[in-house]
Structure 1
Amino acid sequence: MDTTLQDPLVGQVLDGRYRVDARIAVGGMATVYRALDTRLDRVLALKVMHPALAADGSFVERFIREAKSVARLAHPNVVQVFDQGTDGSYVYLAMEYVAGCTLRDVLRERGALQPRAALDILEPVLAALGAAHRAGFVHRDMKPENVLIGDDGRVKVADFGLVRSVDTVTSTTGAVLGTVSYLSPEQIEQPGTADARVDVYACGVVLYEMLTGDRPHDGDSPAVVLYKHLHEDVPPPSAVVPGLPYELDELVASATARTPDLRPYDAVALLAQIREAHGRLSADQLDAVPPQALSAEYAGAENRTSVIPRTLTVPRLLPVNEDEPVYHRTSRLESPPPPLSRRGRSSGGPRRGPLLIVAAILLALGLGAGVWYINSGQFTQVPALLTKTEAQARDRLDEAGLETGKVTYAYSDTVKRGTVISTDPDVGARIRNNDSVSITVSKGPQTVKVPDVQGDALSNARTRLKAEGLQPGMVTREFSDEVPKGFVISTDPENGTTLRAGSAIALTVSKGAPVDVPDVTGEDLADARADLTEAGLKVKIATTRVNSEYDAGQVAKQTPAGDSQAADGDTVTLTISKGPEMIEVPDVTGDSVDDAKTDLEAAGFQVDEDRGLLGLFGDKVKKQSVKGGDTAPKGSTITITIR
């Protein structure tokens, strides 16, 4: 049976906007659903906090505060948070829906990855973490399960910041956060005091796992794994995959140093190391198939980006004798010469055997000369320039016999100011000696000030933020007696704050003055509709009806619940009763009181005892208010008379 059919939220509309279509996953803190934003007609993921946690006011407050902070990241490799709200007892986040799989799925299916694929995945992960670290956030739960790979090849990091909210329910036990296989030593020794370097450590472990197909530390229990994190270095991946270049060993060793001060200080610094190492590796090293790979799909250079689609710049050999017949290049004779006679001559022409031998020798010499020409000193490779200063890049180009071409400057959130972001042609590309290489140098992050959009309509506020180079972030709606419905109450960060361009601004928008929602459960539909309309609310009738204690046609339940608050003009969804569920009453006449109560309660009834004066000391059921075999509403009370 489909478990989503048993989920009470599936098919419902939260906050009059989000139609819940299917359950995707259940975690320790929330359930994630695929939903449709009926206003914008887009599919998204709805993360709904478990009701037990939603009852904790401090937990909800921190959940919302962290969500607002994360919504400010607005990075293309971060799963975005669009909206946050509550609907009755449901506290939810509306988030970007990523159709695809997780890195864990990829590793489970393919085992170890080629170095190119591993680095292609890790680079956008570090770009996302770098943006978070520079904004003051630490993920603290980096693992393959939180790396999403979309069907379009984009890589996104999930669950930013929300792991911090778990502190409020784990602090009493001293539990450490994160999955044990990816915890840094300081997270184990001093939970709650971690900085950006714990994410660097986890990324080093993830890189090791991608390169080898397995985690560096294993054990029969979590305690054994934790002990190894504290007392054993992560081994070099080349110890498991012979032939891996030392640059990859160095990356893993640097990121997973047990002493935090020996690691890169944040994801941006590790990303710079990754890019530099990437530029030093040859195509053969990047595309080497590890023996731990589980899929035969890796075979062949044509599949060198089987995990992440990527545009490759593959040097093409210069044409050699392109006007020659095809068989000169393929050693396959398309039109073979006529057969020779027994005397070695054709039937009417001159002897061709010696001519063919001479032609073959000349062709071999020509091809050899061409290959020598291509591989001789006429060509060189673009040296590793990424993360080098402009002066260092010019020196390296000069040493390689190349000219420095056009130098352009661009803003970058992840590459240090004054260092090279990219080259044209790419690093490692094969070009002629004395050709020029253009470079793009980082200007550092672009900064802008948050405009004052308080009192603006939401659409106008979004337009102004985009015009300033900022991104409209998550929208939270609150009641306000002063700000009209649909207009901005405040922003986070507040106006005048200096931020990097592209940062997201969380908006708090007015829901208008609060309206008390009347409790209409148990009322006839007409009366319920009149009461809600009089209160300034709209009415929607749920498509399904349910059994309840109320008579058929009466209101069984409402969302939002009665005695709660809503905004003027909000929609209240009413579910109509089909009447109580009728079930058969067990015959308990003559049974002992205890047996009778057990049978009736097991059938779904309440039990009331009527002892009277004569039954004070009795223990047998003389009669029951509803005869055995008849039906009665489930949950109703059956009175047993005891004598």
Structure 2
Amino acid sequence: MSASNESLQGRLLDGRYLIGDLIARGGMASVYRATDTRLDRVVAVKVMHPGMGDDAAFTERFVREARSAAKLNHPNVVAVFDQGDDNGTLYLVMELVEGRTLRDLLREEAPLSPRRALAVLEQMLLALSAAHEAHIVHRDVKPENVLLAPDGRLKVADFGLARAVSSVTGGAANPTTGVLIGTVSYLAPELVLKQGSDARTDVYACGAVLYEMLTGFKPHSGDTPIQVAYRHVHEDVPPPSARIQGIPPYIDALVARATARDRDRRSADARVLLRQVRQVRHALDRGLPNDPELVADLLPTVDRGTAQPPAPAPTVAQQAEPTLVVGSQGPPPTASPQPPAPEPAPRKRRRGLIWLLIIVILAVLAAIGGFYFGVMRYSTTPDLTGETEKTARQIVESRGLDLTVAHEKYSETVPEGTVMDTEPEAGDNIIDGGTVDVTLSMGKERYAVPKLAGKSEDAARDALAEAHLTAGEPIPQYSARVDSGDVIRGSIKPGKLVKPDTTVDLIVSKGRRPIDVASQVGKPVAEARAALTQAGFRIDIERTRDRDVPRGYVITQSPNNGSAYRGDTIRLVVSRGPARVEVPDVRFMRVDDATDELESHGFKVEVEEDDISVGAGIVRDQDPPGGERARRGSTVTLYVV
């Protein structure tokens, strides 16, 4: 029996994964925070709802899809670590991405600005491009499967799960139950019609998500999922500008291209759509309100194929057949009462020859017309690949053709300013006086690394995204000059030209490095000063008298422990020794009284009796004598008779 998901919290799944709090719950599975007790790390565990693991076909497909997803290694893809079946509880172990989903962002902030929506879509397409290159189709792209980490990174989750589920339910739409596999708001028409899925299925979902980011609304709505699915099949996704004013036409065209109901008219895969998104972002960055050529390039069109010559004009035979009458040039026959003589055989042969002659003439005319209309009016498109625009123009004009620069695209192999391809293609027929549309290379796509020093981490990430680059993991480092949380520098020198999506690591300040403060109390001031100065502190010394601490030794220190920063000031109080006071004159006083007097002034007393003593106990003399100044605590010797 499968355990209910509600009882999983606190359970050790498969003897390894300690299940914690529920993170999310969907129609097919629940996601928990868990601890991998073997590797001592926090992970996310997706547990399929009870009963799913009872179907052998589903389990087999689930395992196969999990293995495929685990092969994806991309910073924008949620990593798959493990999968298993614990007594009917089917689960998938994934990287835990703290933060929120794109759905959370849309609830709080939709509609997004075109610039921000395209930046989000670009990271989604980076993940999907890696999947499509590995021949993996997501099939359930939606805001809930797009995770936004606090540091600005975006990750796409749940690759292959929709396919595993559809293997049990019978495809995108189960004919028996009517259950739609995949979120219906982003479902491509071919999934609804059970025509199979490919990379273009994900392209459609990306277009639908882009529409929602731009407008705050899903592309189609209805009272039931079936109604929404019906609209995906029979209605185009409306242009975002119909809801939100100010959206440029080329963004409308991008949405239309991605969400074309006929998948042959969509972008071929995520990599192609990514290139088109970057073209649109480039136009947006240039502040263009419209770009007719880009719009024309993006709008979905049926594949043109090879150009074919027009059908030949009607032949002479087709034009003349209704009016030609054989033998009409001769005189009309006259009536005769005599019965007509039999027609000689040569007359029949003559009529046959006339028909033969007419047929030959018509065939010749048809051949001449066909040659003119089918061949003579056409020439062959020259091969212009690798030629400069100037040379290409000279070549086509020498053949009586025109040349138009229809597109400009980046290329890693074709030099800047030279022809990449043509329409019609080289060797195809082109009508005399026609136009050859050429695509010129913009050279290698390179972007300058922006200056990042002094920016906040978020601002630096935004600057890299604007420059079509990727921010890497932050690298913390102490700095005495840059505030904590700001960028010290990037891992690549500012101004250097690099490929798009190049990762630039951010060296982020942790603020000033703390230094342990060692106590110097009781040490000679010279030694204390040297130790603290070498540690990087400034020293402030105050001197004072102290009866207990010898002269030149540290009495107190502030601060005396803990930590401080280089350049901070440490205050030392240094002893100048005990204070000097006037020695009382106690001569001729009784020794006891003299002792009391001296001790009351802070002196110590030592008594010496004369060699010839009379036992009077009177002070005859003292050392030091009365009236001199001596250190408090020093000894005064009394000579007694």
TM-score of the pair, normalised by structure 1: 0.45
Decide which structure has the larger Cα Rg and report it. Answer: 2
TM-score of the pair, normalised by structure 2: 0.45
Greater relative contact order structure (CA < 8 Å, 6+ sep): 1
